[in-house]
């Protein structure tokens, strides 16, 4: 490290003395000469340190870094890490992961800006000036270009950033078969290594024999001697074997229900391996998990009871605080066994000695199909902890020795699938076409063509795949009055002829409404759906207007026996545009109507536990849907303001605030008070305390009986010092 042109205090902050093979090759190939690079190597191979070295170099040269990540949790992890390492050295880091309608100008004073890809996309739409001054762009997990949801966002943001900033690009990737193709697209040097500091042993488990009450299993390893273990089932046997070694295991499963069921089963095993001290600490952690919500749900209580025994489950149905507690205490070794859906396969650093993959098939909507080789490699990459182990194990569970051979060949002896662009879908192209026009990045059809030709899609495919859609999209956007195309549209032989068929390259610009839709980070089709519904409706009508937008997909799964009751409710709902029962889109409409009913129950102050029972929706998923709905209602309100429909904007705004806080209308004034949520607001209301004026008048002793002494005193003092009595 001392051979590098980096001050000693930064070397000390990095905490290493010598570069590993991946890092050495990056330096040799021009990292400090500011060449673009794609670093493709296994998990825990030191890719992040390559990015940090470049980041430090640019900081010392007076430059600015954008660090892009796919997940909010990963952004938070990087921010905490960089702040701890570098804040005393003058390097200022900032994080921006939410609020897609903010300009982000304040970020310009920071040296390192950590963003999710979605947030970066939003900042580009708001024409942030500091982007052009950025000297380094780091893209973590670039192989997610292959993901249908995240891939187009990464691809578009990168194509835009290359246009806006003359920056060095460093893309970090898992080991993939066509990393060279991504490198060519980015005009980058490829650093591709199979180096891994912790040796990974891969194997397949199958049942080989039976005894009286246990099965004998064989772990058929690729690179070391096979191992025999005993147990009642495969995952239990593998995890018990790890506990005997005083190590941890992470089990990947296909569904949330499976993750919870396996965690319950494994907890019976881990319960026998805890010390008295560990039980005491785990009990406190479990209490925090159980009380993470104002009113614990069945899921909260189930998870807490499992954590008390040294196991846990992890999936998107948990709220952020619960996931954070589980991740932190798994890293500390207090939680011994963790079962998870694929949520933990990417990005977040929580390795275990042994990774177990029980389910290699997923339900796709068209039957069950094998998951990708890349997904399995990402799961396997969670095994082995550099700070604790010199090796790790990844084991797939097979039903028999024949399937074991097949899975070994499929996942361990084959290359990962090539990464492919997902930019060619019509909704994605529609959104980004409007973005490019609204931001004035493209002012003509030829400008749009030139931009899309620079994407990864056109690096891999012929431009005609996109070209065939663009004229249709331009016509649609013009019909919606989101864009204006110069020249008069005419009729020839009684047929409409768009302007760009007469003038092959007319000027194109966004209207005020089109620009606002682009800034609001919504699909233009969603914007049109909202604009059509900017009239006086009841709350159900406004919620169904946003629920029919693509951003709110999917609705809530409807069971066969529910259709009749929901159909009757639909008949009585007053909704004018509902399809008939024989229409092909009726099932989707019913699912979105059921989601509407969920939101209405939430605003009627139904608790999370009742909603979990009625809709089978866990708190984490509930809050994600609420957050999406809140954003869409915000966009709805903003469009009403832009269209000068202020009365309707006020109605939508009130609905948005009710949805945000989960209250009936009468509690809105109370929930605006800091530390007063829906439960406390209802208590105050029931005790005839219904505004800040009432709180100011009521005696502290009475308020303390309702809210508790400390909170009552704090709220009373804040309101007494507030010049505005009733907000």
- Segment 228-254 shows an average pLDDT of 94
φ, ψ for residue 6, nearest 5 deg:
-135, 135
CATH classification for the domain delimited by 668-720, as one of 2.70.70.10, 1.10.150.20, 3.30.565.10, 3.40.50.300? 1.10.150.20
In this structure, the strands spanning 311-314 and 354-357 are: unpaired
What angle separates helix 320-331 from helix 298-307, to the nearest 10 degrees? 10
Structure-block tokens of residue 91: 């390097």
Residue 110: count of CB within 10 angstroms of its CB: 17
Separation of alpha carbons 666 and 200, rounded Å: 59
**Whether residue 479 has pLDDT greater than 80:** yes
What's the pTM?
Answer: 0.90
Residue 365 pLDDT grade (very low, low, confident, very high; cuts 50, 70, 90): low
CATH class held by domain 524-662? mainly alpha
Ordered alpha helix ranges (H), 391-425: 401-407
Mean pLDDT of the chain: 92
671-712 residue pLDDT tens: 999 899 999 999 999 999 999 999 999 999 999 999 999 999
Give the rounded percent of residues in the chain with a pLDDT score beyond 70. 96
Where in the chain is CATH 1.10.3380.20? 524-662
182-240 residue pLDDT tens: 999 999 999 999 999 899 999 999 998 776 678 999 999 998 999 999 998 999 999 99
**Whether residue 496 has pLDDT greater than 60:** no
**Whether residue 726 has pLDDT greater than 60:** no
Give the lowest-confidence range in 40-54, 376-390, 408-422, 560-574: 376-390
Where in the chain is CATH 3.40.50.300? 8-192, 199-412
- Is 448:440 a contact under the CB 8 Å cutoff? no
C-alpha torsion 347→352→353→356, nearest 10? -80
**Whether residue 727 has pLDDT greater than 60:** no
Q: How far is CA 433 from CA 121, 201, 514, 530, in A?
A: 13, 47, 11, 19
Separation of alpha carbons 496 and 557, rounded Å: 43
Q: What is the chain's alpha carbon radius of gyration, rounded to the nearest angstrom?
A: 28
φ, ψ for residue 112, nearest 5 deg:
-130, 125
| DSSP track, 152-214 | HHHHHHHHHHHHH---EEEEEE---TTHHHHHHHTT-EEEE----SSEEEEEEEEEEEE-SS-
Predicted confidence at residue 502, as pLDDT, reads 53
Separation of alpha carbons 293 and 611, rounded Å: 14
- Is 340:260 a contact under the CB 8 Å cutoff? no
Residue whose entry in the numeric block shows the structure tokens 């042993």: 201
Predicted confidence at residue 490, as pLDDT, reads 45
Predicted confidence at residue 92, as pLDDT, reads 96
C-alpha 494 chain-centroid distance: 50
Q: 199-218 b/e with 16+ CB inside 10 Å = b?
A: ebbbbbbbbbeeeeeebebb
Residue 710: count of CB within 10 angstroms of its CB: 9
Residue 655 pLDDT grade (very low, low, confident, very high; cuts 50, 70, 90): very high
- Segment 69-97 shows an average pLDDT of 93
Residue 99 pLDDT grade (very low, low, confident, very high; cuts 50, 70, 90): confident
- Segment 310-334 shows an average pLDDT of 94
Predicted confidence at residue 294, as pLDDT, reads 85
Query: Does domain 8-192 fall into CATH 3.40.50.300?
Result: yes
**Whether residue 634 has pLDDT greater than 50:** yes
726: left (phi over 0), alpha (psi -120 to 50) or beta: beta
Separation of alpha carbons 415 and 374, rounded Å: 9
- Is 108:130 a contact under the CB 8 Å cutoff? yes
Asked if omega into 554 is within 30° of 0 (cis), the reply is yes
Structure-block tokens of residue 59: 């900081």
**Whether residue 368 has pLDDT greater than 90:** no
CATH classification for the domain delimited by 426-519, as one of 3.50.50.60, 1.10.10.10, 3.40.50.720, 3.40.50.300? 1.10.10.10
Give the rounded percent of residues in the chain with a pLDDT score beyond 90. 80
Three-state SS annotation for 468-523: HHHHHHHHHHHHCCCEEECCCCEEECCEEECHHHHCCCCEEEECHHHHHHHHCCCC
- Segment 65-90 shows an average pLDDT of 93
Where in the chain is CATH 1.10.150.20? 668-720
96 SS3 class: strand
Three-state SS annotation for 342-382: HHHCCCCCCCECEEEECCCEEECCCCEEECCHHHHHHHHCC
**Whether residue 564 has pLDDT greater than 60:** yes
**Whether residue 254 has pLDDT greater than 50:** yes
**Whether residue 332 has pLDDT greater than 50:** yes
Residue 500 pLDDT grade (very low, low, confident, very high; cuts 50, 70, 90): low
Residue 497 pLDDT grade (very low, low, confident, very high; cuts 50, 70, 90): low
- Segment 714-727 shows an average pLDDT of 71
| DSSP track, 514-574 | HHHHHHTT--HHHHHHHHHT-S---HHHHHHHHHTSGGG-S-----GGGHHHHHHHHHTT-
160-178 residue pLDDT tens: 999 999 999 999 998 899 9
* CATH number corresponding to 199-412: 3.40.50.300
44: left (phi over 0), alpha (psi -120 to 50) or beta: left
**Whether residue 517 has pLDDT greater than 70:** yes
| DSSP track, 2-66 | TTSSS-HHHHHHHT-SS--HHHHHHHHTTTTTT--EEEE--TTSSHHHHHHHHHHHHHHTT--EE
567-614 residue pLDDT tens: 999 989 888 888 988 999 999 999 999 999 999 999 999 999 999 999
- Is 298:612 a contact under the CB 8 Å cutoff? yes
């Amino acid at each position: 490290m001392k051979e590098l042109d980096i001050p000693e205090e930064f070397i000390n902050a990095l905490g290493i003395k010598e570069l590993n093979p991946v890092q050495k090759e990056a330096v040799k190939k021009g990292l400090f000469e500011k060449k673009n690079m794609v670093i493709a190597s296994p998990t825990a191979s030191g890719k992040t340190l390559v990015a940090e070295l470049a980041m430090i170099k640019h900081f010392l040269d007076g430059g600015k870094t954008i660090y892009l990540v796919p997940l909010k949790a990963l952004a938070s992890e990087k921010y905490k890490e960089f702040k701890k390492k570098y804040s005393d050295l003058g390097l200022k880091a900032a994080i921006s992961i939410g609020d897609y309608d903010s300009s982000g100008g304040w970020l310009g004073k920071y040296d390192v800006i950590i963003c999710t890809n979605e947030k970066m996309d939003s900042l580009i739409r708001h024409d942030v000036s500091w982007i052009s001054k950025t000297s380094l762009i780091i893209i973590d997990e670039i192989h997610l270009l292959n993901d249908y949801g995240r891939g187009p966002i990464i691809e578009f943001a990168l194509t835009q950033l290359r246009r806006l900033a003359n920056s060095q690009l460093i893309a970090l990737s898992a080991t993939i078969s066509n990393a060279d193709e991504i490198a060519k697209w980015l005009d980058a040097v490829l650093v591709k290594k199979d180096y891994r500091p912790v040796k990974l042993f891969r194997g397949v488990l199958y049942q080989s024999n039976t005894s009286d009450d246990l099965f004998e299993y064989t772990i058929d390893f690729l690179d070391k001697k096979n191992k025999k273990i005993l147990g009642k089932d495969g995952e239990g046997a593998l995890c018990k074997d790890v506990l005997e070694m005083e190590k941890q295991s992470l089990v990947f499963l296909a569904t949330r229900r499976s993750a919870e069921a396996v965690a319950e089963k494994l907890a019976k095993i881990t319960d026998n391996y805890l010390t008295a001290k560990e039980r005491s600490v785990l009990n406190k952690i479990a209490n925090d998990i159980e009380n993470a919500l104002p009113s614990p749900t069945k899921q909260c209580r189930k998870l807490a009871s499992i954590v008390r025994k040294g196991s846990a489950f992890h999936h998107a149905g948990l709220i952020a605080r619960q996931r954070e507690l589980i991740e932190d205490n798994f890293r500390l070794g207090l939680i011994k066994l963790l079962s998870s859906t694929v949520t933990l396969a990417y990005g977040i650093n929580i390795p275990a000695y042994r990774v177990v993959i029980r389910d290699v098939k997923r339900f796709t909507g068209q039957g069950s199909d094998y998951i990708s080789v890349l997904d399995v490699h990402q799961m396997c990459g969670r095994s082995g902890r550099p700070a604790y182990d010199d090796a790790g194990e990844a084991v797939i569970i097979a039903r028999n020795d024949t399937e074991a051979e097949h899975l070994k060949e499929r996942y361990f002896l084959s290359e990962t699938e090539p990464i492919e662009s997902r930019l060619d879908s019509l909704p994605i192209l529609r959104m980004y076409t409007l973005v490019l026009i609204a931001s004035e990045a493209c002012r003509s059809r030829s400008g749009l063509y030139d931009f899309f030709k620079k994407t990864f899609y056109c690096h891999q495919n012929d431009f005609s795949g996109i070209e065939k859609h663009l004229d249709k999209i331009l016509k649609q956007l013009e019909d919606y009055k989101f864009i204006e195309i110069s020249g008069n549209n005419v009729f020839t032989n009684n047929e409409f002829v768009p302007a760009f068929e007469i003038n092959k390259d007319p000027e194109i610009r966004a209207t005020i409404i089109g620009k606002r839709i682009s800034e609001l980070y919504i699909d233009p089709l969603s914007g049109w759906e909202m604009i059509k519904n900017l009239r006086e409706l009841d709350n159900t009508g406004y919620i169904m207007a946003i629920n029919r937008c693509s951003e709110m997909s999917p609705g809530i799964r409807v069971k066969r026996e529910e259709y009749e009751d929901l159909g009757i409710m639909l008949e009585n709902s007053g909704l004018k545009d509902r399809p008939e029962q024989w229409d092909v889109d009726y099932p989707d409409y019913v699912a979105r109507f059921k989601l509407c009913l969920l939101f209405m129950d939430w605003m009627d102050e139904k608790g999370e536990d009742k909603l979990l029972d009625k809709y089978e929706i866990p708190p984490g998923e509930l809050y994600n849907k609420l957050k999406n709905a809140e954003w869409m209602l915000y966009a709805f309100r903003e469009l009403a303001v832009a269209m000068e429909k202020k009365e309707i904007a006020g109605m939508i705004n009130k609905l948005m605030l009710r949805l945000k806080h989960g209250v009936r209308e009468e509690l809105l004034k109370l929930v605006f008070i800091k530390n007063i949520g829906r439960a406390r607001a209802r208590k105050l209301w029931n005790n005839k305390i219904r505004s800040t004026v009432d709180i100011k008048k009521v005696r502290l002793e009475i308020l303390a009986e309702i809210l508790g002494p400390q909170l009552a005193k704090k709220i009373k003092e804040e309101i007494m010092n507030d010049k505005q009595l009733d907000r």
